Amino acid sequence: MFQNVEPTPLDPIIRLISIFKADKRDNKIDMGVGVFRDSDGNTPIMAAVKQAEQQLHNQQTTKTYVGLSGDESFNQQITRMVFGDGENRRIRAVQAPGGCGALRVLSEMLAKVSPDSKVWLTDPTWGNHYPIFHGSRFETATYPYLNRTTKAVAVDDLLDSLSRRGPKDIVVFHGCCHNPSGAELQPEHWNEIAKLAAKTGFFPFFDLAYQGFGDSLEQDVYSIRTVAQEVESLVVASSCSKNFGLYRDRVGCAMIMGETSESADSACAQLLSTARSSYSMPPDHGAAIVGMILGDQQLRKIWEQQLSDMRARILGLRNQMSNKLRARTGHNRWDFIADHRGMFSLLVLNDEQVNRLRDDYAIYVVAGGRINIAGLRDEEEMDRFIDAFIDVTE
Ligand code: LMR
């Protein structure tokens, strides 16, 4: 069976995790995989998660199946967190195994209902978007996103490209904290995009992996709420890996907004049949915790405060890095680092520069030069990164 199977390369981010682990140097710095770290270099279990886990442990009396769509309280809470407290009659939500699982079941559902559509991804985008949509047999193409010189969004080119899309186009957006670039669309740009979507009829597909890591839980979904007001239907894949720190528990949600309540039901039924034929039912533990936290005033307050502290750490590191680079190099070429949002910035480095950072300085960044700024523990690591970065780039 397997004698003639060709080896297949691992996803670069996943490969980087194992190369980093195998590196014996004790001064190594991991700025690769998108995982939040505190100033001690740890990825803590959030306080509200610990408390909810304890409550769950005390209260839970069974491990029997929950059902195909998972924890209903979780689904409703996430719907409100993403779309707001208003009328959500046309929205259906299904718990999924992580944001990635949500992307995949939504992609499979769309492939069933519109197999001839083409999927448009930002240039650049998260590497795993390609295999996810190709896995559902979609053809993919890219639309302009990052201006690689200024490291800001190439807004005019992006809008121009979207104005040429139509009903057979599925356009994938990053709801906030663009991965890998860190460059953000501003509210006025989302207003334009929403109008374009309504005018041209393209189908918006939001990947929302970092709600709360950008500016605030509310501001980070301005994108989705604005587009949802203008279009008849869209989908959202959201993740609780980062904002609840539940990475390994695989907590995500696939949301469908239909033209009517009935069409939302039909699309949801297609999605559930996809789920049934792959993982069947989603894992319960993490979603039960998120449902508890969001439904309990006190736990929610503790969670929101810690999330806001995490966001402040990232923004502080961004300001520090851009100030230091300006002071050291004498020019403002790196000011964009402070303007970016989320954990990542794409510094646009070639393979040789990325390899030199790793081989000469034990600093790991993703190919292309994506840094996870939260990977820097303290000022000493920041200074080491800056020395190394200046050495490989100047
Ligand atoms: C990342 O982009 O580093 C994270 O989303 C982790 C992953 O699965 O790639």
- 185-242 per-position pLDDT tens digit: 999 999 999 999 999 999 999 999 999 999 999 999 999 999 999 999 999 999 999 9
Max CA separation in the chain (angstroms): 63
287: three-class secondary structure by DSSP:
helix
Number of Cβ within a 10 Å radius of residue 341: 22
Residue 10 has pLDDT above 90, yes or no: no
Residue 389: name the closest of 341, 307, 325 by CA. Answer: 325
Atom of ligand 1 nearest to the CA of 32: 3
Whether omega for the bond prior to residue 180 falls within 30 degrees of 0, making it cis, is: yes
Residue 305: predicted pLDDT? 98
User: Mean pLDDT across the stretch 362-385?
Assistant: 96
Residue 86 has pLDDT above 90, yes or no: no
Instruction: Give the predicted TM-score (pTM) of the model.
Output: 0.97
Confidence band, pLDDT 50/70/90 cuts, at residue 256 = very high
How high does pLDDT run on average in the chain? 97
Q: Can you tell me which atom of ligand 1 is nearest the CA of 34?
A: 3
| Residue 334: burial class (beta carbons within 10 Å; 0-12, 13-18, 19+) | buried
Confidence of residue 175 (pLDDT cuts 50, 70, 90): very high
Predicted pLDDT at 340: 98
Q: Is the pLDDT of residue 9 over 90?
A: no
State in Å: Cα 209 to ligand 1 middle: 9
CB 13 near ligand 1, within 6 Å:
yes
At 88, the pLDDT band (50, 70, 90 cuts) reads confident
**Distance in angstroms (rounded) separating the CA atoms of residues 142 and 295:** 39
Report the separation in Å between the CA atom of 128 and the middle of ligand 1, taken as the mean of its atom positions. 8
Give the rounded percent of residues in the chain with a pLDDT score beyond 70: 100
Catalytic residues: 126, 207, 242
- The answer, yes or no, to whether any atom of ligand 1 lies below 6 A from the CB of 244, is no
CA of 90 relative to ligand 1 center, distance in Å: 31
Size of the chain, expressed as the number of residues it contains: 394
Using DSSP, state whether 183 is helix, strand or coil: coil
- Atom nearest to 179 CA in ligand 1: 2
pLDDT (mean) for 241-267: 97
